[in-house]
Amino acid sequence: MKIKAINGFKDILPEDIAIWRTIETVCRDIFARHAFREIRLPILEKTELFARSIGEATDIVEKEMYTFTDKKITMRPEATASLLRSFIEHGLHVSRPIQKLFTVGPMFRHERPQKGRLRQFHQIDAEVIGGSEPQIDAELMAMGQMMLNELGLDASLEINSLGCRECRPSFRSALVAFLDKSQDKLCDNCKRRSTTNPLRVLDCKKQSCRDLVADAPSILDHLCDECDTHFKQVQHYLDLFSVRYTLNHFMVRGLDYYCRTTFEFLTGDLGAQAAIGAGGRYDGLIEQLGGPPLPAVGFAMGIERLSLLLQNKADGVTPEPESDIFIAVLGERAEQTGSKLANALRAKGGRCGIDYSGRSLKAQMKIANRNRARLVLIIGEQELDKGEAILRDMQTQEQSSFTLKSNIAENCTELLKISANVLTTTEL
């Protein structure tokens, strides 16, 4: 019996890698331009960390976590909690007043797998710790937008403010009063949530609940002066940075730790999995986790969803050739020369392929083609006697004779020069 991967856990095959690398390269480059530094975090953390930060009455903590109950440890469902745990543990605030950090890696949530929704998925996560200025929120959204733009993806940005400890309770009571009147019309999930976590009813996906909450009070009418000013400033800076957005007062996000600004990047091209990236401000959380009272804001993008969008694009990502030069060898002596040359070429930075199974020239050319090699150096016994080989340009099909010098370094230099020329002419 064949053993298959676990449902919701997916292999990222060599064919997928070009897209994954493009996403990571573009994002890493943009992080560098914004002075973010990378941090790498463990996949397992104490369960308590997630319960305390994400919130007990959230979908993630209630039903989506992979927990080893006997050991009280959990596979991280998101990155913010782990990043903050590390930030606090190592006192990172001491070295710089504002820490801009990013991390990339797998997250685990026990959800129903479907297109763009997996049980192991990957996030690119960015956090700015130590500043409460609205400029920081706007800059972070502008950075997310820059990533999507540079990947050539269309997305809309929706923003909201969830208020703070001062003003949210009054909104919560107004909402609870509103929901109380229509309990019978809510779905079962929302009936329960209307007492445990009433804000979550606002972003229920069920149409009947959506229709009902259309008339619910808006958080934006309940913001205290400080939160209202902060949110207006965020919008002002988004305008200043030419980032387009719409207000969505139904967006509450599935994690309890958010306050003030929340935002989502959305696409119309992935069905129900519309969110490509999301985040918000979480002033107070670091203190709640036992750290200093520092404000912070962050967001995470889902790499699988970005990758699906790039796959669907006609002018998406072209995979890099696996080798610049393929060495086809015919006979044992040719194989000796060819293999030595291949390894010397690689040491000098050339991408080089070779096949040792003694296949026919035709079969070796097929392999070269699959490798998308631009040049093939054919070494046969007869040519070898004359100190020659045949060089074939795979694009133009032209063949020329290549003189094999006894000095291997000279051969390498010459071949790499020809290969670089071929590459530039093909690119033009």
User: Using CB under 6 A as the criterion, which residues of the chain lie in contact with ligand ATP when the complex forms?
Assistant: 78, 109, 111, 116-118, 121, 123, 254, 273, 275-278, 300-302, 304-305
Shortest distance, position 62 Cβ to ligand ATP, whole Å:
13
> For residue 243, what are its two tokens?
């980032």
Taking residue 89's Cβ as centre, other Cβ atoms within 10 Å add up to 10
Shortest distance, position 240 Cβ to ligand ATP, whole Å:
26
Shortest distance, position 325 Cβ to ligand ATP, whole Å:
39
Q: Rank residues 116 and 338 by Cβ distance to ligand ATP and give the closer one.
A: 116
Q: Whole-angstrom Cα distance, residue 136 to residue 17? A: 33
Shortest distance, position 6 Cβ to ligand ATP, whole Å:
14
Q: Whole-angstrom Cα distance, residue 407 to residue 404? A: 8
Q: Rank residues 255 and 394 by Cβ distance to ligand ATP and give the closer one.
A: 255
Q: Rank residues 276 and 415 by Cβ distance to ligand ATP and give the closer one.
A: 276
Q: Rank residues 60 and 412 by Cβ distance to ligand ATP and give the closer one.
A: 60
Closest residue to ligand ATP using C-beta atoms: 302
> For residue 289, what are its two tokens?
């986790």
Q: Rank residues 157 and 167 by Cβ distance to ligand ATP and give the closer one.
A: 157
Name the DSSP class of 351. Answer: -
Q: Whole-angstrom Cα distance, residue 252 to residue 195? A: 16
**Which uninterrupted H or E stretch holds 287?**
helix 285-288
Q: Whole-angstrom Cα distance, residue 168 to residue 171? A: 5
314: helix, strand or coil: coil
Shortest distance, position 8 Cβ to ligand ATP, whole Å:
8
Shortest distance, position 347 Cβ to ligand ATP, whole Å:
40
Residues 351 and 325: beta-carbon distance below 8 Å: yes
Shortest distance, position 74 Cβ to ligand ATP, whole Å:
15
Shortest distance, position 300 Cβ to ligand ATP, whole Å:
4
Q: Which residues pair with 264 in a beta bridge?
A: 158, 278
Q: Whole-angstrom Cα distance, residue 208 to residue 185? A: 7
Q: Whole-angstrom Cα distance, residue 125 to residue 300? A: 4
Taking residue 180's Cβ as centre, other Cβ atoms within 10 Å add up to 11
Shortest distance, position 398 Cβ to ligand ATP, whole Å:
47
Q: Rank residues 194 and 267 by Cβ distance to ligand ATP and give the closer one.
A: 267
DSSP letters for 107-161: EE-----BTTB-SEEEEEEEEEES---HHHHHHHHHHHHHHHHHTT---EEEEEE
> For residue 403, what are its two tokens?
């003189």
Q: Rank residues 118 and 415 by Cβ distance to ligand ATP and give the closer one.
A: 118
- Which of 216, 133, 229 is CA-nearest to residue 176? 216
Q: Rank residues 87 and 265 by Cβ distance to ligand ATP and give the closer one.
A: 265
Q: Whole-angstrom Cα distance, residue 364 to residue 328? A: 6
> For residue 334, what are its two tokens?
């040719």
Q: Rank residues 123 and 411 by Cβ distance to ligand ATP and give the closer one.
A: 123
